[in-house]
Amino acid sequence: MRAHPWASASVLLLGATGLVFAIEGASQGSSLYRLAAAGVGLVCLLPLCVALVFSEAFFFRSKHLALACACAFLAFALAEVGVRFFGSRNFQAPEMVYDDALGHRFIGGKGEPDALGFRNRDVPRRADVVCLGDSQTWGFDVERTDSWPHLLAASTGRVVYNMGIGGYGPLQYMTLTESALALEPSVLLIGFYVENDVINAHSLAGLDRYAELRDPALVYAQNPSAYHLNVKAPPNWAMAVVEGLMGHSRIAWRAMYQIKQRMRVNRQLADLYWKEPHAPRYEHERLSTYFKPEYSASLMDLDLPYVRDGLRISEIALRRIAEPCKQRQVRVALLLIPTKETCYYELCQLRKEPAPPGLERVAGLEEALRAQILRIASDLEWPVVDPRADLVAALAADQPLWPASVDSHYMRAGYAVMVACLRRELANVLAGDSSR
C-alpha cells in the first residue's frame, strides 16, 4: 500500500467514513434507518476490504479503477443533465411549503405536482370530476397512475382532477372547494378517510384562519401543519448524506423513491419497515400484515374531547362545502375509505378466526364514527360509497390490498377495488351531464 500513497489514502478515508456511518447509525433512528446506515457504511468500507484482501492486484489496477470511476461519474453527470433538461417531472422531488390556510401545500410545477401543486399530469381547462382527499387520495408511495382518482379516470373516460394531499382533512377540503369549482366539475368527490380526517379537522383549527371554529374549552396545536413534521432532521449521519444526495440529484431521488416503493411491499422487510413495537400481526401467506390499533383508536374514539371536536368541525366544514356546490348545481359524493384494521377484523369474522388484539375495538370505534359521517351526508343528501364490503371480499379471495408492514396506505389493488365500487354505486352521478 505504501507504493500507492494517493490510492491508499483515498481507500482508507472512505473506509473510515463508512465505519463512522455504521457506528453512529447503529443507535440512531428506527430499525430501518439503522439498517440503511449499516448499508451505507458497508458500501464505503467495501473498497478497503477488497484492498486488504487483494492488495497487489487491487493497487496494480488502481489506475484502471480510477479511470472506470471517472467514466462512471461522467456518465452519471451527463444523465443528470439530460434528466434536468429533458426528463419528466417524476425525476424531481416535490417541495412542500407552509400555507396559512391549508397548513401545507406543494409548490406548483416542481416535481410531480402540476402547476397548481396537485398530483396530476397537467391542469385541465375543466374537469368532469374533482377529487378532494388526503394521502389516500394522493396515492402515498404508489405511482400517480395507481392512485384511485387516476384509475377512476382511466376506467370511465372522464376528466378526473386529483386535489388530494397527504395530511389534509375537512377544513382543507372546505378551503379548496372554490378552486375545485373553478374547474366546472359535474361532481365533487370527497375521499373521506375515516381514521384521521376527523382528527385532522381538530388539528388544523390551530391555524389563525380557523380561530372562529375553536372550542374555548380546548387547547389547539400552534403548528398543526405537516410541513413542520416534514422538515425534521435526518435520523443519522448516513441518512443525512443520502438525503443530501437526493436533494441535489434527480436521478438519485427517483432511484430512492423506487427503492422505497419496493421495500414498502416487500414481505421479508415488513419487520423493519414502519413496524411499531409490539404491533399485532395477521399471519397468512399472502395477506400477512401488521397493525397499529392503539394509534388508530386514539384518532377515532368519540369519548375523547378532541375527536368529538374534530367531528363538530368536520360537520361545519362539510356543510360549508355543500352551499356553493348546491348553488352551482355540482353534485357532491363521499367515498368513505375504511381502515386496514376494520377490514381485517371483518375478514376474521368472515373466516371465523380470532382477530389480532385491538382490532375489535378499532372496528367498533370506526363504526360509531362512520355512523356520524353518514348522518351528516344524509342531512346534506350526499350519496356515500362505502367500499368496505368489497375490500373484505377481495381479502377473502387472498388479494393483498395493503403492504405487509404497519403502513395503512392502500396499494394499487386496494384503490382498484374502490374504483370498481365507485363505478357501481355512482354510475348515474359519474355519468355527468352529457350536454356540458
Write out pLDDT tens, residues 325-377.
999 999 999 999 999 999 999 999 999 999 999 999 999 999 999 999 999 99
Region 182-202 average pLDDT = 97
Distance, CA of 271 to CA of 29 (rounded, Å): 15
Helix (H) or strand (E) holding 281: strand 281-282
Number of residues written out for the chain:
436
Tell me the per-residue pLDDT of 119-178, one tens digit each, with 9 for 90 and over: 999 999 999 999 999 999 999 989 999 999 999 999 999 999 999 999 999 999 999 999
Q: Which of 327, 302, 432, 318 is nearest to 384 (CA)?
A: 318
Q: Is the pLDDT of residue 265 over 80?
A: no
Instruction: List b or e across 282-313, with b for residues whose CB sees 16 or more CB atoms inside 10 angstroms.
Output: bebeebebbbbbebbbebbbeebebbbbbbbb
User: What is the predicted pLDDT for the residue at 51?
Assistant: 73
Report the greatest alpha carbon distance in the chain.
Answer: 84
- When pLDDT is averaged across residues 292-311 and rounded to a whole number, the result is 97
Looking at residue 207, the DSSP 8-state letter turns out to be: S
CATH 3.40.50.1110 residue spans of the chain: 96-233+274-431
**Between residues 299 and 235, which one has the greater pLDDT?**
299
Say whether 160 sits in a helix, a strand or coil: strand
Q: What is the pLDDT of residue 229?
A: 60
pLDDT of residue 275: 60
Percent of the chain with pLDDT over 90: 62
The separation between CA 20 and the C-alpha centre of its own chain, rounded to angstroms, equals 32
Choose among 306, 293, 310: nearest CA to 362: 293
Q: What pLDDT score was predicted for residue 434?
A: 44
Is a pLDDT exceeding 50 seen at residue 217? yes
**pLDDT band per the 50, 70, 90 thresholds, residue 85:** confident
Percent of the chain with pLDDT over 70: 92
Stretch 32-49: mean pLDDT = 85
For residues 132 and 191, give the distance between their C-alpha atoms in angstroms, rounded to a whole number.
6
Give me the helices (H) in 232-339, please: 237-248, 250-265, 293-300, 305-327
Q: Is the Cα torsion angle 67, 69, 75, 81 positive or negative in sign?
A: negative
Alpha-helical runs (H) found in 54-196: 55-60, 62-86, 135-138, 148-156, 170-181
* Continuous segment of H or E residues that includes residue 424: helix 412-425
- Checking if the pLDDT of 31 tops 80, the result is no
* DSSP one-letter code for 431: H
Residue 53's pLDDT is what? 75
In the numeric block, the cell 489514502 is attached to 9
Q: Does domain 96-233+274-431 have CATH number 3.40.630.30?
A: no
d(CA 290, CA 189): 30
Query: What pTM was computed for the model?
Result: 0.88
For residue 311, what is its C-alpha cell?
367531528
Q: Which residue has the cell 378517510?
A: 193
238 exposed, middle or buried (CB, 10 Å; 0-12, 13-18, 19+)? buried
Predicted pLDDT of residue 141: 86
Least trusted range by pLDDT, from 185-189, 259-263, 290-294? 259-263
**Which residues touch 57 (CB under 8 Å, ≥6 apart)?**
none
Looking at residue 349, its amino acid is: Q
pLDDT attached to residue 208:
93
Element (H, E) at 9: helix 5-25
Nearest-angstrom CA–CA distance, 369 and 360: 14
